[in-house]
């Protein structure tokens, strides 16, 4: 029986892949002087791209990623907008997601199952927002 809550089977306690990222729509990030170079992955979903960026390796630390919605290309970036030499630009259908640091406002995005009789968890948007 549905009681007005959002029911997502099999996702209880699973943290959303985009939690901990700040989204900037229609934004492209370049850093010609930064190394190592960005890594591109094709045909990934947005969530898979976020998971790839979250899994840092010894040789590559992902600090942000760009996602091109028109061709599903994921660019894993070893820099963010605060890196020296980084330049932001406008690019339609391309969103930039940066890992939130200590100074950023974190939004809590959790998906889960609500059981009848329990209060519904508050639904949070996928973009950071000021607390109420």
pTM over 0.75: no
> Is residue 118, in this structure, part of any structural domain at all?
no
120 to 6, 9, 13, 17: CA distances (angstroms): 8, 15, 14, 21
> Is residue 103, in this structure, part of any structural domain at all?
yes
Q: Which pLDDT belongs to residue 105?
A: 32
- Structurally, how many domains does the chain consist of? 1
Q: Which pLDDT belongs to residue 131?
A: 58
> Is residue 96, in this structure, part of any structural domain at all?
yes
> Is residue 119, in this structure, part of any structural domain at all?
no
> Is residue 86, in this structure, part of any structural domain at all?
yes
The CATH number for 37's domain is 3.50.4.10
Per-residue pLDDT at 16 exceeds 70: yes
CA torsion angle for 49, 53, 54, 55 (degrees, to 10)? 110
> Is residue 97, in this structure, part of any structural domain at all?
yes
Q: Which pLDDT belongs to residue 4?
A: 41
> Is residue 99, in this structure, part of any structural domain at all?
yes
Across 35-39, 55-59, 74-78, the highest mean pLDDT is recorded for 74-78
Strands 94-99 and 64-68, bridge-based pairing: antiparallel
> Is residue 4, in this structure, part of any structural domain at all?
no
- Domain containing 57 equals 14-111
Counting Cα atoms < 13 Å in the Cβ hemisphere of 129 gives 9
């Amino acid at each position: 029986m549905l009681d007005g809550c959002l029911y997502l089977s099999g996702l209880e306690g699973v943290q959303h892949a985009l939690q901990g990222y700040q989204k900037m729509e229609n934004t492209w990030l370049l850093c010609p002087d930064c190394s190592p170079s960005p890594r591109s992955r094709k045909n990934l979903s947005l969530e898979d791209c976020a998971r790839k960026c979250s899994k840092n390796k010894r040789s590559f630390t992902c600090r942000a990623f760009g996602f091109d919605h028109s061709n599903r290309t994921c660019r894993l970036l070893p820099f963010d907008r605060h890196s020296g030499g980084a330049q932001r630009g406008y690019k339609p259908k391309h969103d930039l997601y940066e890992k939130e640091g200590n100074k950023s406002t974190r939004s809590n995005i959790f998906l889960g199952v609500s059981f009848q009789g329990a209060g519904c968890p508050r639904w949070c948007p996928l973009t950071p927002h000021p607390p109420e």
